Amino acid sequence: MKNIAAFLFMVIFSFTAEAKVNLFAYSRPAPDTEFYYQDGTKHTLAEYKGDFVIALFWSKKCTPCIRELKSLDSFYKKIKGTGVKLIMISPKNEWPTNLEQHDFLKKYKANNIDFYTDEGGDLAADFGIFSYPHSVLINQEGDEIGRIRGQMDWNSDKVLKYILDLRDGKYDVKK
């Protein structure tokens, strides 16, 4: 009976509707919580001021997260050199080693993306994120301006244009 309930839970929560984009009426400062690059070095979001940042929180246990990895890899290649930075952040406790995370991303054809981990889930908690995938949009001043909740086809030209328009400030978000 437990196995059936677990299976039904996984099936129900593995299928998500189209991603929901939510831009805020007012920007707010991003938390200064540390997270870790694939080589183990500590970072904060403040280090990326000057770039438009998409901080994508994901989990290897999240089927929608896995489904979007290949399109994320294509998106990542398109945004290189545009002033948009993609930061993929997963819970540290999911990865015994960074090599395991690298191999996982390679398996799902997302091996070009730099990856980060969130020790203890502190950064996700400071953002109030408790479900995946969940992307936080951060402007060049280091302020959060919106969120994308759910799975997205990142390889879409429409999505690329939207992100570049956000980078260029074409949507009205007040400070």
Contact 31, 18 (CB under 8 A): no
Four-way CATH pick for 18-167: 3.40.50.2000, 3.40.30.10, 2.60.40.420, 2.40.70.10: 3.40.30.10
Q: ω before 133 within 30° of 0 (cis)?
A: yes
Q: Is the pLDDT of residue 3 over 50?
A: no
**Mean of per-residue pLDDT scores for the chain:** 88
- Note the pLDDT tens digit of each residue in 152-163: 999 999 999 999
Q: Is the pLDDT of residue 15 over 80?
A: no
Domain residue limits, the chain: 18-167
Q: pLDDT grade, residue 20 (50/70/90)?
A: confident
- Note the pLDDT tens digit of each residue in 76-132: 999 999 999 999 999 999 999 989 999 999 999 998 998 999 999 999 999 999 999
